Amino acid sequence: MNVFRLTGDIAHLLAIILLLMKIWKTRSCAGVSGKSQMMFALVFTTRYLDLITNFISLYNTTMKMIFIASSYGTLYLMFLKFRATYDSNHDTFRMEFLVVPVAGLSFLVNHDFSPLEILWTFSIYLESVAILPQLFMISKTGEAETITSHYLFALGSYRALYILNWVYRFYFEGFFDLIAVVAGCVQTVLYCDFFYLYITKVWKGKKLTLPA
Amino acid sequence: SSSQVDKDEL
């Protein structure tokens, strides 16, 4: 464990808490993409299948359980409890255009052709593009609530911090996972436009609006 | 390759 990965995990946890707080406090999931949240739940489900079989540490097990529980909790809030506030008209990104190519790629490019490894690879590839429906939704509505922009900033920062973690692990532990690094870079690059808007607007106290 | 054992990242 290193400081980059720890702050990355904390940023990830913070993002999930911010989203739950937003939905719970405003009793609304307006502006949140249910499709992205469904893909995040799929990411955690396919990545943490070894939760039972492969004990690594208390931290690892606890965080995995929190991520799985909170992702399904978010789906419950969005599609059951506050379903009436789900903005399906703006959440129109075609998930199959992401899930199908990612599934195909995970069969073609992986470290080991075993079920667990292919599912892990699928989850890594899927996570790198899972935010696209959310970013697409914001581009359609042209704006995002401030707390939703904080959620996205924390979520985007987590994988950027993981890139620093991989640099650290490469130089100090000789650890290198090409699949995780490439997918992590793609994932982080997708946030660049949002990061620019967030830093130039939200940090100046303005609402996050996209140029018309 | 990153085998199962060193998948210690979340």
**DSSP result, A111-145:** S--SHHHHHHHHHHHHHHHTTHHHHHHHHHHSEE-
* A48 vs A15: CA distance, rounded Å: 19
- What value does the mean pLDDT take over residues A63-74? 98
Residue A192, pLDDT score: 98
Closest CA in chain B for residue A118: B4
Predicted confidence band of residue B1 (pLDDT cuts 50, 70, 90): very low
Closest partner residue to B10 (CB to CB) among A9, A111, A116 is A9
Helix (H, G, I), strand (E, B) or coil at A50: helix
What tens digit of pLDDT does each residue of A90-103 get?
A: 999 999 999 999 99
Residue A211, pLDDT score: 84
Contact assessment for residue A163 and residue A106, using Cβ atoms and an 8 Å cutoff: no
Q: What is the count of structural domains for chain A?
A: 1
- What value does the mean pLDDT take over residues A50-78? 96
φ, ψ of residue A67 to 5 degrees: the values are: -65, -40
In sequence order, the β-bridge partners of residue A143 are A209
What tens digit of pLDDT does each residue of A154-192 get?
A: 999 999 999 999 999 999 999 999 999 999 999 999 999
Q: Which of A65, A16, A23 is nearest to A45 (CA)?
A: A65
Contact assessment for residue A18 and residue A31, using Cβ atoms and an 8 Å cutoff: no
* A203 vs A208: CA distance, rounded Å: 10
Name residues whose C-beta falls within 8 Å of residue A132's C-beta, 6 or more positions apart in sequence. A36, A93, A98, A190
- What value does the mean pLDDT take over residues A205-209? 94
- This complex has an ipTM of 0.89
- What value does the mean pLDDT take over residues A16-42? 98
Q: Which residues of A touch B4 (CB under 8 A)?
A: 50, 54, 116-117
- What value does the mean pLDDT take over residues A128-148? 97
Q: Which of A124, A129, A113 is nearest to A36 (CA)?
A: A129
Above 70 in pLDDT, residue B6? no
Above 70 in pLDDT, residue B2? no
To the nearest whole number, what is the mean pLDDT of chain A? 97
Strands A208-209 and A143-144: antiparallel
Chain B nearest CA to A148, separation (Å): 23
Helix (H, G, I), strand (E, B) or coil at A163: helix
Q: What range does the domain containing A38 cover?
A: 3-209
Which residues numbered 23-42 in A keep a CB inside 8 Å of some CB on B? none
Chain A nearest CA to B8, separation (Å): 7
